[in-house]
Amino acid sequence: MDLNSYISGFSDGEGCFCVSFNFRNKLNTGLEVRPSFSISQHQNNLNLLKLIRKQFNCGSIRYSKRDSSYKFEVREISQLNGKIIPHFIRYPLMGIKLNDFRKFKQICLMMKSNLHRNLSGLQTIINLAYDMNHGKRKYSKDVLLKRIAR
Amino acid sequence: MDLNSYISGFSDGEGCFCVSFNFRNKLNTGLEVRPSFSISQHQNNLNLLKLIRKQFNCGSIRYSKRDSSYKFEVREISQLNGKIIPHFIRYPLMGIKLNDFRKFKQICLMMKSNLHRNLSGLQTIINLAYDMNHGKRKYSKDVLLKRIAR
């Protein structure tokens, strides 16, 4: 049994590579980029989340009242680039979520090079993020692209 | 990367160990026991189901109109005892679904010894099955226990 491969399999079903955006007037671009890797589970599977957090050696586990679940989440870009992404390169996803991961990886690498701080980099990031499979979005892509083009 | 460990991780999130029951007048007990291991996925993840089927070297993949999904399923008791259960003993589930698996394993082993063909064995199986975490049931436990006690 290999725990790292197991975690990739579990993440392929239950994990989420997500990039969200927030308006921030203090930033030059007016837009904050927030990538995160997360796994949400019912309370009865909290021990598994703790095991996964321990194995990744980063991230936090929080309770979400909204859907009565626990969420393991990694948000720090250094941890995403230093721990999460290398894990999923070494122990690859084998399902459709691999597409999300590839875009996620590209976005996190761009952020490492501070490309999210200029207009064209940010446009690329928005396009990649809105090409990922995620349901509800606070803002439409057009709203974001217009905002940074001001 | 170890594919077997990955499959256990994926199954821990997406797999289902299920034991259902059907009335069968031709059987001495009047009740058919149907254990199955299955994984359902949206069409966009069909290739992963094919990979898993190939690795287990048993089971079938069918399209379900009801929920527009594909289901990999193993029903034959010999395959469950010979391939599925040994896999999950060697590459163990690490989440809450392990509890389901333990009961599932016990039921399949009992069936191998034909214990589902006598009243007390069947009662034990019904109790174990209704102790597993599965949503909707066609019949309540009481209906089944009364049926076989006729």
| DSSP character string of A82-138 | IIIHHHHHHS---STHHHHHHHHHHHHHHHHTTGGGSHHHHHHHHHHHTTS--S--S
pLDDT in tens, A137-149: 889 999 999 888 7
For chain A, what is the radius of gyration of the CA atoms?
Answer: 16
Q: In what order do the strands lie in the sheet with B69-74?
A: B15-23, B31-42, B69-74, B60-64
A3 and chain B in contact, CB less than 8 A: yes
Indicate whether B148 pLDDT > 70. yes
Query: What pLDDT does residue B135 have?
Result: 67
pLDDT in tens, B82-93: 999 999 999 999
Contact between chains at B12 and A48 (C-beta distance less than 8 A) = yes
Listed in order, strand segments (DSSP E) in B14-115 are 15-23, 31-42, 60-64, 69-74
pLDDT in tens, B25-74: 999 999 999 999 999 999 999 999 999 999 999 999 999 988 889 999 99
Query: What pLDDT does residue A135 have?
Result: 67
What is the span of the domain harbouring residue A19? 3-148
Query: What pLDDT does residue A138 have?
Result: 85
Question: How many domains does chain A divide into?
Answer: 1
Contact between chains at B6 and A1 (C-beta distance less than 8 A) = no
What residue of B is the nearest CA neighbor of A48? Answer: B95
Burial of B87 (0-12, 13-18, 19+ CB in 10 A): middle
pLDDT in tens, B89-130: 999 999 999 999 999 999 999 999 999 999 999 999 999 999
Query: What pLDDT does residue B150 have?
Result: 67
pLDDT above 90 as % of chain A:
87
- Average pLDDT over chain A, rounded to an integer: 95
Question: Does the model's ipTM exceed the 0.90 cut?
Answer: yes
pLDDT in tens, A104-145: 999 999 999 999 999 999 999 999 999 997 667 889 999 999
Q: Which residues of A touch B12 (CB under 8 A)?
A: 6, 9-10, 13, 48
Query: What pLDDT does residue B144 have?
Result: 93
Contact between chains at A10 and B5 (C-beta distance less than 8 A) = no
CATH code, domain with B108: 3.10.28.10
What residue of B is the nearest CA neighbor of A43? Answer: B96
Q: Which residues of B touch A94 (CB under 8 A)?
A: 3, 6, 48, 51
Query: What pLDDT does residue A66 have?
Result: 86
Q: How far is CA A1 from CA B5, B55, B101, B127, in A?
A: 6, 15, 17, 31
B86 and chain A in contact, CB less than 8 A: no
Contact A19, A104 (CB under 8 A): yes
Contact B32, A34 (CB under 8 A): no
- Residue from B60, B104, B97 nearest A45 by CA: B97
Q: Using 50, 70 and 90 to split pLDDT, how confident is the model at A53?
A: very high
